[in-house]
Amino acid sequence: MGCHPCREELPELALLEKQFKEVKFISVHTSLYKHAEEPETVAKYIKSLKGAPSHIVLTTSKELGSDFNIMGLPHTMILDENNIVLMNIIGYDKKNIQRLEQELHRITKQ
């Protein structure tokens, strides 16, 4: 899989998912972007991972991209129990993962 940021992010999200069991993590991959991998390539890569988030959606839906304002990959969203988007993170770096973890602590009061 060619998306280096996605390769970095998926194991980090898997670790957070184990830590915050009351939060449902859903990772979405869409092949709508110029440099995005095809869903089959992504699915093969995910199967090869020792640690990946439990729920990964592979789509080519243009509606999904516009409905959730997905502007780049990786795109991580935090939703509350009513499916209201609380936080969007576009791209991957350690600071984004730190912000995500801080928000998860706040939401779950851990």
CATH of the domain at 95: 3.40.30.10
Other C-beta atoms within 10 Å of 62: how many? Answer: 10
Token output for 43:
């699915």
**What is the average pLDDT score of the chain?**
80
- CA–CA gap between residue 98 and residue 89 (Å, rounded): 11
Out of 48-52, 54-58, 62-66, 85-89, least confident range: 62-66
pLDDT tens per residue, range 52-64: 787 787 777 777 7
Number of domains in the chain: 1
Domain hosting residue 86, numbered range: 4-108
Alpha helices, H only, the chain? 4-19, 39-48, 62-67, 94-108
pLDDT tens per residue, range 7-42: 888 888 889 989 988 887 777 777 666 666 777 888
- CA–CA gap between residue 20 and residue 45 (Å, rounded): 24
